Structure 1
Amino acid sequence: MAKLLFQGHASCRITTHSGTVIYIDPFAGEGYDLPADLVLITHEHEDHNDLGKVPQKPDCTVIRSTDALAGGQYHNFDIHGVHIQTVPAGNRNHNPKECVGYILTVDGVTLYHAGDTSTMPHMVVLAPRKLDWVLLPVDGVYNMDPAEASTCARRIGGKHTIPIHTDPSYAYNHTQANRLDCPGKVLLEHGQAIEL
């Protein structure tokens, strides 16, 4: 079974049952001790793309938003037994032509990391997929606030939703995280891990 370590802010590490190590938006927290097989960057803001923190295996693949959106098309990838679907992301602070979210399928589990975003039209069509895990930003400054994120979470209909990017200062904002109101809410503080 895959494991998710929430490192903080929007940074997380996924380790698959077979030992594949995936980092998404490296920047915050600890837990950069495992060499990466795959690194996903949702956009090129400094709080999402600190590759210097990530030790990489010789055959590590790094997918940046520019790769995922090459030619103006959202691309899918199959790497190390992980399927990655690129989906839209963006808002008034994040140009949708430069930002993406990722839906990963790993060990039979689906996980949607929305990146920095507000409500996007594609979220409605995700509901029939019954995603297992959804990670949504809730800071209310650079991204949607908890009320909008709650609406998005219900629209997406994932089994579990984790609030991320809870504060523009990069700290964990308990108040913002707790204000997310949706079925299946899971609160993870920086450094906490769960089985997916």
Structure 2
Amino acid sequence: MKSARKGTALIQEVRSTEVPYGTLAIWFLGQESVIIKGDGITVYIDPYVSDFLDRNGPVRSYPAPIIPEDITGADLCLITHEHDDHMDEGTLTVFHAQNKEAPIIAPACCRQELLRMGVEGTSILTADAREARELFSKLRLTVIPAAHEELEQDENGYERSVGYVLELNGVTLYHAGDTVIYPGLAERLAEIAPDVALLPINGRDYFRREKGIIGNMNYREAAELAVRIGAETVIPLHYDVFAGNSEKPGYFVDYLYEHYPEQKCHVMARGERFVYVSARAFV
């Protein structure tokens, strides 16, 4: 009997995974693409699983664990900013066609491009850092401004780049999107004290910026930020898809081990399901 294709099997795993209160399931798809599941809600963040950039720019270092056609059963999609490896046309056109009921939340500057991709206007919600949003009566979503590499707002006060805090199933998760650390970020996140922080580690430098590659915090900054904000567990992102904009996650782990050996971290394998378990799971 022929076994299921790897991507199909991963989505079947997502569908069948049920996590008890106080836990969240996380799947890593590469770059900053993740799937989050808790309390029956399945959320995709920055799904980039097509070969779209292969035809228009850098080539992926490895194939994505799934293809866009695999994605079914999604309840929500969150986009952090408009760059192609975060708001991927090759993925989102198929995502929307196969998950019509799933809203797509994105910065206001992304709306026209999403409409061009064929996403219906009623499915597009604007990421607004000025107020939290309740979804499905189970998820509280807070938008955090991101500086990629600078904070930018439009004339209506909407951020160009964002991160998201998800409060779901008794767990608080922060996905930073693409950002450097800016004044006030650590203090705000420390008040939230996320259980899980997903942070980019690829950094930035003059020569990448010269090529038009806008950067993020580096692995040292990400490690220090995780400790400063009181994240119980930190997961590094944005280090593996493009050879010209990569970082070794081992440097991140080594830095934490040398300086903050009690800080929990987890480097996710491609396509891995990681189940985060908080203390609230045992209350």
Normalization by structure 2: what TM-score? Answer: 0.61
Match of 2:95 in 1: 54
Match of 2:266 in 1: 186
CA contact (8 A) 2:30 2:240 kept: no
2:65 is aligned, of 24, 30, 35, to 30
Instruction: After TM superposition, give the deviation of residue 168 of structure 1 in Å.
Output: 6.5
Q: Could you give the per-residue CA deviations for residues 142-180 of structure 1, whole angstroms, max 9, x where no partner exists? A: 111111111211111110000000147177844444355
Match of 2:160 in 1: 98
Rg comparison, structure with higher value: 2
Instruction: After TM superposition, give the deviation of residue 76 of structure 1 in Å.
Output: 2.0
Q: Distance in 1 between matches of 2:253 and 2:146?
A: 23
CA contact (8 A) 1:40 1:62 kept: yes
Percent identical pairs in the alignment equals: 31
Q: Distance in 2 between matches of 1:118 and 1:132?
A: 20
1:109 and 2:171 are equivalent in the alignment: yes
1:78 and 2:134 are equivalent in the alignment: yes
More helix per residue: 1 or 2? 2
CA contact (8 A) 1:68 1:76 kept: no
Normalization by structure 1: what TM-score? Answer: 0.86
More strand per residue: 1 or 2? 1
Stretch deviating more after TM superposition (111-120 or 160-169): 160-169
Instruction: After TM superposition, give the deviation of residue 34 of structure 1 in Å.
Output: 3.1
Unaligned runs of 5+ in 1: none
CA contact (8 A) 1:172 1:189 kept: no
RMSD: 2.3
Are residues 166 and 154 of structure 1, via their aligned partners in 2, closer, same or farther at CA, if it must alter by over 3 Å? same
Q: Distance in 1 between matches of 2:81 and 2:190?
A: 24
1:43 is aligned, of 53, 64, 81, to 81
CA contact (8 A) 1:166 1:177 kept: no
CA contact (8 A) 1:13 1:23 kept: yes
Instruction: After TM superposition, give the deviation of residue 24 of structure 1 in Å.
Output: 0.3
1:115 is matched by which residue type in structure 2?
G
Matches within 5 A, 1:127-166: 127-141=190-204, 142-166=215-239
